[in-house]
Amino acid sequence: MRFRADRDTLLEGLVTASRASAARSALSTGIAALQLVLKGDQLEVVGSDPDLVIEARCQVAGDTDGTVLVPSRLVVDIVRSFDQGAVVVSGGEEEARFSSGRAEFVVRVAVGAEITRLGLPEAEGIKLPAGSFAEGLRQVVRAALVDDSRAPQLTGVLMQETADGLRLIATDSYRLAFRDFAGLSALDVDTQVLVPAKALAEVQRLVAGAKDGDEEQIVFRHSDLDAVFDLGSARVTTRLLRGQFPDVERLVPSSYESKLLSRREEYAAALRRVRLLVRDSKDVTTPVRITFREGGAEMAVLTPESGRAVESIEGDYSGADVMVAFNPSYLLEGAEAVRAEMLVLEVNDPGKPALLRGQGEDEYRYLLMPVKVS
């Protein structure tokens, strides 16, 4: 195999695919490697772990078709170290050569490395608007469980067809995020698929620059085992999760007794400031206490090691005076997911879930369990 490529173009493809292979080294399932496949003037870079495959495609000046496996991190670092300009790559059965300017690296092929190839669903692809879908992922993926040792199914995002369109749902059992896409159909009626949040995070990252109204689209396909997201120059393939996703609809209260309307940026900034005390606390679960009252609310964090932080925010509050405590990081992530200028926080009592949403943005809801305090 031999080809010539622009350094930045090649590096982008290597970095994109390596995000999948990076997980393999932490799983003791083999060497983290990238597969370079050259056909004509198109280079395909493939990275994988056992459940996720990312393929990045880029145009190069091809000379000799072929395939080579190279160590992921080392090759990314080598190409990144080159000055901007042309990079020449050649590979054989035992080594691969990377050269640019006066620099040349000869790298042993990744002996013992594995590249997972998941099945490609035969179903016809469904086109999703890249901008709005990526924004929905930004809002929802954050609520999924990260550690799969407790409840593996909660590390996924449920894609569910509803009467009005498509719904994304994620929960880690302490918080719950919904995002609805009215009029958007990606699944058959009464169908739902559970997609790993880490795969959707990569889809979000790859289309992060897309905006609502852009013509860029994601083509989505799935089978009973796998799901595929085609994004132009990249493809993300993932195994679907198995297991019973909880019936979360019943957790959403039908109504709320108290409501605070405040400016999102002011609310989030105050929360970031009082949360500084939690950063150095030995107890990472230290909550933020929010006292709701006429004219707004007061945020307070108290820690034995660092002291006390208090800040008041202005807002339109309706309901009885009440104090509710929350995990400050979870509460901040919910606020940051809202797009509207005005933030709505609704509560019933200190022991029941609170609801956070943007004013006039009913398509996104973020449910958060309070923390019990003495």
The whole-angstrom separation of Cα 249 and Cα 246 is 9
Q: Fold for domain 126-249?
A: DNA Polymerase III; Chain A, domain 2 (3.10.150)
Query: Nearest-5° angle of CA 151, CA 255, CA 176?
Result: 20
Quickly count helices (H) and strands (E) in the chain: 7, 26
Residue burial 334-348, b: 16+ Cβ < 10 Å; e: rest: bbebbeeebbbbbbb
Average pLDDT over residues 25-43: 79
Q: How does DSSP assign 16-56, residue by residue?
A: HHHHHHHHHHTTTSS--EEEEEEETTEEEEEEEETTEEEEE
**pLDDT at site 283:** 61
Domain coordinates in residue numbering, the chain: 2-108, 126-249, 253-368
Q: Fold for domain 253-368?
A: DNA Polymerase III; Chain A, domain 2 (3.10.150)
The whole-angstrom separation of Cα 131 and Cα 133 is 6
Site of tokens 């933030």: 343
The whole-angstrom separation of Cα 17 and Cα 146 is 21
Average pLDDT over residues 304-315: 91
**pLDDT at site 210:** 64
Contact 345, 356 (CB under 8 A): yes
Residue 284: pLDDT band by 50, 70, 90 thresholds? low
**103-152 pLDDT tens trace:** 999 999 987 777 887 877 777 788 899 999 999 999 999 999 998 778 89
Three-state secondary-structure class, residue 112: coil
**332-366 pLDDT tens trace:** 999 999 999 999 999 998 889 999 999 998 899 99
Contact 59, 3 (CB under 8 A): no
Query: Does 27 have pLDDT greater than 50?
Result: no
Strand partners, 324: 290
CA distances from 252 to 249, 256, 335, 348, 369 (A): 6, 10, 18, 12, 11
Q: Fold for domain 2-108?
A: DNA Polymerase III; Chain A, domain 2 (3.10.150)
Phi, psi (deg, nearest 5) at residue 207: -120, 25
The torsion angle over the Cα atoms of residues 153, 159, 164 and 165, rounded to 10 degrees, is: 180
Q: What would the two tokens of residue 6 be? A: 């622009």
